[in-house]
Amino acid sequence: MKVARRPRRPMYPYLYLAPGLLAMLLITLGPVVYSIYIAFTNMSTQHLLNYEWVGLRNFERILVGIDRRNFASVLAWTLEWSALTTCLSFAVGLGLALLLNDRRVRERNIYRTILIYPWALPSTLTVMMWGGLLNSSFGPVNQMLQALRLPAVPWLTHPIWARIACILVQVWLAYPFVMSVCLGALQSIEPSVYEAAAIDGASAVQGFRFITLPLLRLATLPLVIASFAMNFNSFGVIYLLTGGGPITSVDPNAPGATDLLGTYMYKLAFGGVAKNYGLAAATGILIFFVVGGLTLLNSHMTGAFAEAEL
């Protein structure tokens, strides 16, 4: 009795896919590998063609060397920025989602369209628009304050106010997405659950605490973790709104008042006279490990993905 042979799979589909896959690998992994290599060299404008292998010297300079204070201050502000923007965006988005999910609110579709407007516009255009609105000299916001007999606020020129302005703009950009996710999660909750709780004598606050929040947990915790990681890697808002400024030190390598790790890395690589590509690449690697570690830590502490282990 002859045993039937399994038909061989043709290799043509893999051959057709190979050029595209190879191009994707070169485009994605190529810059990563090259950045890792640069991080262990002294490549800069002064050593662009004759750079040398320096080992861990760039990392030592950032962590325990002359740039440790700069890196520590930027890291602290980046963590503050990430926590504040994530919490505020979630609070605003969840609050608006609760209002839009209330059946007593009329014309909810119109309000939903209006509130999603910041998400519909390109973020670059939105940040530049806010830059004009908050301009200390001719911005409409300060003009309105002066019309109300209130002092003008140096939104983009004072270190504290510049940070507040950046946080407000980031929340403005982020809340529509959070609102959409929370609204979808709220609409998936059966109204009969609230009706049964009301029959048992539960108040609206108790219903929100013991029904809404627990049911939203699985849907929103991954969102919060992802938002924190994205805010940690923010670049566009700071770069377009303040450029990392205002400047607080005469040191050319010192970060500005609003510089995050992303903009600080950009300044090391492309700002100033001596562009230090090796130091910037080392900073980028540290950012990767910090973001990865924070994401894993938050996932473990919150148990956001514990359901997948069942």
211-260 pLDDT, tens digit per residue, is 888 888 878 888 888 888 889 989 999 999 999 989 888 777 788 999 99
Return the structure tokens found at 66.
């002359």
State which of 37-51, 82-96, 98-112, 180-194 shows the largest mean pLDDT.
82-96
Residue 133 inside a domain? The answer is yes
Residue 171: count of CB within 10 angstroms of its CB: 21
Residue 171 inside a domain? The answer is yes
pTM over 0.75: yes
SS3 172: helix
Structure tokens at 282: 């080392």
Residue with the larger pLDDT of the pair 285 and 209: 285
The parent domain of residue 240 ranges over 57-299
pLDDT at 309: 44
- Residue 74: pLDDT band (50, 70, 90) is very high
Please check the confidence at residue 306 and state whether its pLDDT lies above 70: no
| pLDDT > 90? residue 170 | yes
Q: What is the mean pLDDT of the chain?
A: 86
How many folded domains does the chain comprise?
A: 1
The 10s digit of each residue's pLDDT in 140-169 is 999 999 999 999 999 999 999 999 999 999
- pLDDT tens-digit map of 20-69: 889 988 898 888 899 999 999 999 888 888 889 999 999 999 998 888 89
| 123, pLDDT greater than 80 | yes
Q: For residue 69, which of 78, 79, 61 has the smallest C-alpha distance?
A: 61
Residue 256 within a domain:
yes
In a domain, 30, yes or no: no
Residue 105 CA: distances (Å) to CA of 42, 100, 102, 182, 205: 62, 7, 6, 17, 18
- Supply the pLDDT for residue 310: 41
> How far is 83 from 305, CA to CA, in rounded Å?
21
* pLDDT value at residue 95: 92
33 in a structural domain: no
Percentage of the residues of the chain whose pLDDT score is greater than 90: 45
- In a domain? residue 35: no
**Is residue 15, in this structure, part of any structural domain at all?**
no
Domain with residue 109: its CATH number is 1.10.3720.10
Choice among 35-39, 149-153, 172-176, 205-209 with the minimum mean pLDDT: 205-209
Per-residue pLDDT, 76: 94
